[in-house]
Structure 1
Amino acid sequence: MGRWKIDWRWGEGDLPLVSCPGLIGKCEFTSNHSRLNESEILLFCMRDRIVWPPYRLSHHKWVFGMTECPVYTYVNVARLQGLFNLTMTYTRTATVPWVYGSCKRLSPTDKPTYNASRNYAAGKKHLVAWFVGHCRTSSRREVYAAALAEHIDVHKYGCGGGYSCPRWDNRRCHSVLLNNDYKFYLSFENSLCRDYATEKIWQILEINVVPIVLGYANNTDLFPPHSVIDVRDFASPRHLADYLKELDANDTLYNEYFRWRAEYWCSEAAHNNGCNICRHALAMRGRREVVKDLVAEWGRKENCARPNNYYRGM
């Protein structure tokens, strides 16, 4: 399997299959362009500047690959109609899922991470944290966060927020700082697009902090019941702030946001994506595939919302 681009982040050979050992030896990943003829799957990352292959063989299957949303797809997808055999994106309609994370219901033999006797609010000194790297976004999340901060303390890390934690030190910032000191985290997406739920949510679901989500995904389909707080459920940022204050004052209500762990398990799933494309390639080997309508699946107008049609009470 190949990708017509040098920057191949999954690794070579069997490395992308470490989480699915049963597939090792059945697929091989490479960024070596000289192996184009023997490759069957070509994965194009559409956020990069694409250098198209000089030719296309009859057994090649071209994959439209994207983990960012349509807002950041710097190509005219209408001009690519009929070019790709399959899609590999974060959307539920993708031929192959390329997701940031996933949740599953625990089996009878799985050990839940929920501790019913634990007070998850104990020792937490602050309410809301937000790590932000992009200061102006198409979702205008910065506007909502500023409105929320008028009614409740929001510790903003980055973009002139007055707090700092090294972005490269994920363990200190997430596993230690957030886990120990904060009750809530603003998992605000930079764009409002269908099914777009990034690591901003999945990383927080793995620690003892409640994510407050701002995005255009269907949270009921993606996350366990009562695991996230959605800004769309509140008439305004002030109403959300009032609810957070209520949870802060009542540990019993706050702890309800961790009860889902008795039945579900959630984690980042980036390590599974190599398994996903290998499994599909084997199942569909020699069979014809084509993306019928790339615009419907990936067009910005068809899949993304405008902030002024999204926010309430602003």
Structure 2
Amino acid sequence: MKLRKASMWLAPALLSLTLSTCMALLYFLNLPKLTGNSHGWHRNISILLWHWPFNRPYPLEGDVCLDMYSIPRCLLTDNRSRFDQADAVVFHYKELQTAQEKLPLHLRRPPAQKWVWLSLESPAVIKNIRAYNHLFNWTMTYRQDADIFMPYGRMIPQRTNESFLVPKNRSCLASWVVSKYNSHHNRSHVFLQLRKHISVEVYGSSNRRPLAKEQLLPTIARCHFYLAFENAISKDYITEKLWRNAFQAGTVPVVLGPPRSNYEAFVPRDSFIHVNDFNSTKELASFLKRLATDTAQYELYFKWHKEHAIHVYTDWRERLCHICKRYNELPSFKVYHDLEGWAWQ
């Protein structure tokens, strides 16, 4: 009798449990596709670019992040009608500053949606962003303390046993490519002083000697040294002048920018020459002339080629895809209440 009563009580409970289990399975089956990794479970992430930087669009057909950069579960779009479905919306600083674009403050912003402030500019040119305080959740810049760190370039482990051959018979000592020459910049002052002691071949629109894209690296490669002078001195502000113009051309960079210790956070200390290592431009010039004639010492600046290669970020799609790599690691409730203060650090 007791067994019969127990069975009568247990049957509905099992039925209820089975129904609950089925409901749970149906719930999870109808969720967006979940995939596990070392950071936990996450779903497809949708990134909306509100406007293309400098109004230069790229095609977004297919699974760009996966097909081109092996970054899965990352969907890129520039279709503003998908605003409500976007996990993150990216706004490039330049177009906001010049009033070519405006923030979509008139739209109802989904509670979980993140707004990303994107800029590769130095603090010297960042202005009028106080109005954007309390709006942005994440920053995406070349700075290491940005939420999405996106440098101009980086060294990556070399995957080949081929050794780099230092070009012989260089036909010039040093070169400099400058598109926006400003006599008030520190780099202009250093260049003018340096030119008193050595010959520097100068190219760019500023002196009416422009170089076509395909001519840039071969022209620089003719010289022993390249003046990788930044137009502003700021933390982590190390641009394509080092990564592309010098390293990819196969010449030794003479850098002017943040302190040597900052450069060494990105590249080997013996891969470049820093202006600050010398007491005067005359001393620097003497060093460059002497080094150019000492083949053994000169070639030491290329040791890094044995273990590393250079990757330069030029495609905005690649930068955007990297947001997905960081998405699940970033704080969900972060807001920049003083974006201007952060940007000017």
TM-score tier, shorter chain, comes to 0.7 to 0.9
Superposed displacement of residue 188, structure 1: 0.8
Say whether 1:178 aligns with 2:223.
no
Alpha-carbon contact 1:121-1:254 (below 8 Å) kept: no
Determine helix, strand or coil for the equivalent of 1:289.
coil
Match of 2:89 in 1: 42
Whether 1:154 and 2:200 are equivalent positions in the alignment is yes
Q: Which residue of 2 aligns with 1:191?
A: 232
Deviations 1:62-117 (A, max 9, x none): 1111011112223234x4333211110000001002221011344xxx215534xx
- Tell me, what secondary structure is at the counterpart of 2:324? helix
Residue 306 of structure 1 corresponds to which residue in structure 2? Answer: none
Residue among 254, 266, 285 paired with 1:212: 254
Q: Per residue, is there more helix in 1 or in 2?
A: 2
Selected match of 2:111 from 46, 58, 64: 58
Which residue pairs with 1:237 in the alignment? 281
Match of 1:183, as an amino acid? H
Q: TM-score, normalised by structure 1?
A: 0.82
Distance across 2 between alignment mates of 1:134 and 1:191: 12
Distance 2:180 2:206 in 1: 11
Query: For the residues of structure 2 that align with 1:261 and 1:297, how far apart are their CA atoms?
Result: 36
AA matched with 1:269: Y
CA distance in 1, matches of 2:119, 2:191: 27
Cα distance in 1 between the residues matched to 2:321 and 2:161 = 25
Asked whether 1:225 is paired with 2:269, we answer yes
- SS across alignment from 2:253: strand
- Secondary structure of residue in 2 paired with 1:83: coil
CA distances 1:182-240 after superposition (whole Å, capped 9, x unpaired): 11111111111110011111012123211111112611101123111111111111111
Q: Of 97, 122, 131, which aligns to 2:177?
A: 131
Q: Secondary structure at 1:253's aligned position in 2?
A: helix
Does the aligned pair in 2 maintain the 1:3–1:30 contact within 8 Å? yes
Aligned match of 2:160: 111
CA 1:59–1:140: 2 relative to 1, 3 Å: same
Q: Count how many residue pairs are aligned between Structure 1 and Structure 2.
A: 285
Instruction: Write out per-residue CA displacement over residues 147-170 of structure 1, whole angstroms, 9 at most, x where no aligned residue.
Output: 1000000111136647x343xx22
* CA distance in 2 between partners of 1:138 and 1:67 (Å): 22
Q: Does residue 251 of the first structure (1) align with residue 304 of the second (2)?
A: no
Counterpart in the other structure of 2:323: 277
Cα distance between partner residues in 2 of 1:233 and 1:243: 11
Counterpart code for 2:266: L
The answer (yes or no) to whether the contact 2:71–2:321 under 8 Å persists in 1 is no
Q: CA distance change for structure 1 residues 93 and 9 in 2, over 3 Å: closer, same or farther? A: farther
1 or 2 for the larger relative contact order (CA 8 Å, sep ≥6)? 1
Q: Report percent identity of matched pairs.
A: 27
The match for 1:71 is 124
What is the match of residue 12 of structure 1? 60
SS where residue 28 of structure 1 aligns? strand
Aligned equivalent of 1:31: 78
Measured in 1, the distance between the counterparts of 2:226 and 2:112 equals 47
Q: Which ranges of structure 2 fall in alignment gaps of 5 or more residues? A: 1-46
TM-score normalised by structure 2 residue count: 0.75
Contact 1:114–1:259 (8 Å) recurs in 2: no
Residue 221 of structure 1: SS of its match in structure 2? coil
Deviation at 1:41, TM superposition (A): 0.5
Which amino acid in the other structure matches residue 62 of structure 1? W
Asked if 1:266 corresponds to 2:310, the answer is yes
Distance of 2:182 and 2:306 partners within structure 1: 38
